[in-house]
Structure 1
Amino acid sequence: MNGDWLLRGRDGRLTVYLPSGDAVLCRAERVPKGPWDAPRKVGGEQKLHLGLAVGQGPDGYAHLVAWRPTVPGQSGLVHSTHFRPLLAPLDWNPVGHPDKKGDRTGMPAVAVDAQGRAHVFVRNEGGGVSVLAQKEKGGWEPWRNLEGSEVQGELAAVTGECGRVEVYAAAPGGILHWRQEEAGKPPVPQERADVPVRPGTLRALATSAEHTTVFFTDDSGDLCAWRSGGKPVPLLASAGPGPVSAVRCVIEGHDCTVLAQRSAGGRVAFAAYPTEQESAGAWWTESGPDLPADAEVSLALDQDGEVVAGSLSPSTGTLLLARRKDEPGLALRAWQEM
């Protein structure tokens, strides 16, 4: 999965999204902090390839994108919108292919701007990045090639506090970055970070009115943070092989960034530090039981602004949640299976 699959809807309920075979399932809280409903299939009977990208706009709507098989040897992207956790998501709507036709070119990523328009990013056949953007009054703009070359692994799409979308991509020897300069305009290339980055480890977060921060693992195994205009900063040794999940929250009156990652030992590791102050340092604390090898980790804020951590295993469908305790620091309550 690409993006945060544990989301808080506009009604305060939490929702999770889970690829399952040739479909996508969703589950939601019946009431905030209450019991969860049974899994439901997203988007009707359309058969999908395994893999899902999720993005959420300021309006709380979730946008889901996946690849579907079309004719033998070819695929196309489909999109669905989920307006509220207890409503059924819309049916899958075909949105095409970055090269007009062909097989899958890479895992898509989704960001949603301040006007609620989804932007779908995906690697194209030439190894660069293409984008497809919704029109404000319905329908889609044409596919646009943002250029770039030798893009590797999953893209990291994000919406800044200003409401404009950005995307990061790993390439040999560095990170590529595109950003909208104006609302409704295509993202344009920005400064590149020259850093040895491990593909498949990028995750981006809006961290101030001026900046988004991309987290990644470098070739030495350090988890690093980079913001345009500065240099990549090592934060701490990566806890595990995949990307982190990241969320901002208030801890003891301070704006903090909380990170979570499935550790190499199989548990969930957490770290927190003052937002955009990497020099303050951070350290991992592991929590919960050993997880299956395919388990994903995601962070969200509940209706009270408190951190909720989730782990989800596509092979078993097991959903575990832990909520922050009502006490100083980042201590979590016991993990519970939903």
Structure 2
Amino acid sequence: MNGDWFLRGRDGRLSVYQLSGDAVRCRAEREPGGPWTAPRTVGGDQRLHPVLAIGQGADGYAHLVSWRPTVKGESGLVHSTHFRPRLSALDWHPIGHPLTKGDRTGTPAVAVDAQGRAHVFVPDGQGGVRLLTQKEKGGWAAWRDLKGNGAGDGLAAVTGESGRVELYAAGPDGIQYWRQEEPAAEPVPAESLRATVRPGTLHALATSPDSTTLYYTDTSGALCAWRPGGKPVTLLPSAGHGPVSAVRCDLDGHDCTLLAQRSADGRVAFAAYPTEQESAGAWWTESGPQLPVDARVSLATDEDDRVVAATLSPSTGQLLLTRRKDEPGLALEAWRQV
């Protein structure tokens, strides 16, 4: 999965999205902080490949994108919108292929602008990136070629506090960065960074009115933070091999960024620091039980803006949650299975 699969909807309910065979399923709180529903299939009976990209707009709507098999040896992309976790999502709608036709070219990434338009980015398998944008009054614009230099899988799409969409992609020569200069404009190459990046470790977060921060792990195992216009900063050694999850939150009256990652020991590791102040330092603290090798970690905030962490194992379907206690610091409740 690409993107935050653990979300808070516009009604305050938390939900998770998971791949299950050739379908996508969703679970949600019956009420904020309350019990959870059983998993439900999203988007109807359409058979899907085991790929899912998720983006969420300021309106709280979740936009889901996946690949579906079409004719033998070929695939096409499909899109669904989920307006509220307790409601059914729209049926999967075909949105085409970045190269007109062919098999899957890469894992999509989704970001949603301030007007609620989904932007679907897809590696084209030729080192570039293609973009499909939703029209404000319905339908989709034509595919656009954003070019690129060896862009691979694991794109990180993000919407800044300005409501403009940005994209990061890693390749053999480093990281490429695109951004919208104006609302509704096509994202353009803005900067590149020479870096050695471990594949599949990009994660982007809006961290100020003018900046987004990209987290990535370099090939030495260091977790780095980079804001375009500046130099990358080594934050701390990576706790594990997968991408981090990140969320902005208030900790004792301070604007902080909380990171979480499945550690090499199989538990969840947390690290927090003042937002955009990497020089303040950060360190990992592990929490919870040992998790399956395929378990993913994600962070969100609930209706009361308390941090909530979730882990999900595709092989077992096990969903575990913990929530910040109502006390100083980052004290967490005991992990519980949902």
User: Aligned ranges for residues 30-49 of structure 1 at < 5 Å?
Assistant: 30-49=30-49
Shift, 1:151, TM fit = 1.3
Contact 2:125–2:152 under 8 Å retained in 1:
no
The match for 1:188 is 188
Output one character per residue of 1:236-293: Cα deviation in whole Å (capped at 9) or x when no partner. Answer: 0000111100000010110000000011111110000000000000000011111111
Counterpart of 1:33, as a letter, is G
User: Aligned ranges for residues 139-154 of structure 1 at < 5 Å?
Assistant: 139-154=139-154
The match for 1:52 is 52
Q: Separation in 1 of the partners of 2:203 and 2:254? A: 22
Contact 2:67–2:77 under 8 Å retained in 1:
yes
Give 3-state SS (helix, strand or coil) of 1:279's partner: helix
Shift, 1:85, TM fit = 0.8
Counterpart of 2:333, as a letter, is R
Contact 1:152–1:200 under 8 Å retained in 2:
no
The answer for unaligned runs of 5 or more in structure 1 is none
Counterpart of 1:16, as a letter, is V
The match for 1:65 is 65
Q: Separation in 2 of the partners of 1:328 and 1:220? A: 35
Output one character per residue of 1:167-222: Cα deviation in whole Å (capped at 9) or x when no partner. Answer: 10001131000000111111000110111111100000000001000000011100
Counterpart of 2:143, as a letter, is W
The match for 2:309 is 309
Give 3-state SS (helix, strand or coil) of 1:81's partner: strand
Q: Separation in 2 of the partners of 1:263 and 1:153? A: 23
User: Aligned ranges for residues 281-300 of structure 1 at < 5 Å?
Assistant: 281-300=281-300
Contact 2:106–2:125 under 8 Å retained in 1:
no
Q: Separation in 1 of the partners of 2:290 and 2:106? A: 30
Contact 2:295–2:314 under 8 Å retained in 1:
yes
| Superposition CA RMSD, Å | 0.6
Q: Separation in 2 of the partners of 1:52 and 1:293? A: 20
Question: Which of structure 1's runs of 4+ aligned residues deviate more than 3 A?
Answer: none
The match for 1:229 is 229
Give % identity: 73
Contact 1:99–1:125 under 8 Å retained in 2:
no
Q: Separation in 2 of the partners of 1:221 and 1:73? A: 37
- TM-score, scaled to structure 1: 0.99
Give 3-state SS (helix, strand or coil) of 1:248's partner: strand
The match for 1:276 is 276
Give 3-state SS (helix, strand or coil) of 2:240's partner: coil
Contact 1:80–1:89 under 8 Å retained in 2:
yes
Q: Separation in 1 of the partners of 2:64 and 2:315? A: 20
Q: Separation in 2 of the partners of 1:170 and 1:135? A: 28
Shift, 1:153, TM fit = 2.7
Give 3-state SS (helix, strand or coil) of 2:191's partner: coil
Contact 2:2–2:53 under 8 Å retained in 1:
yes
Shift, 1:69, TM fit = 0.5
Q: Separation in 2 of the partners of 1:171 and 1:245? A: 21
Contact 1:5–1:298 under 8 Å retained in 2:
yes
Q: Separation in 1 of the partners of 2:152 and 2:293? A: 22
The answer for unaligned runs of 5 or more in structure 2 is none
Shift, 1:150, TM fit = 1.2
Shift, 1:161, TM fit = 0.1
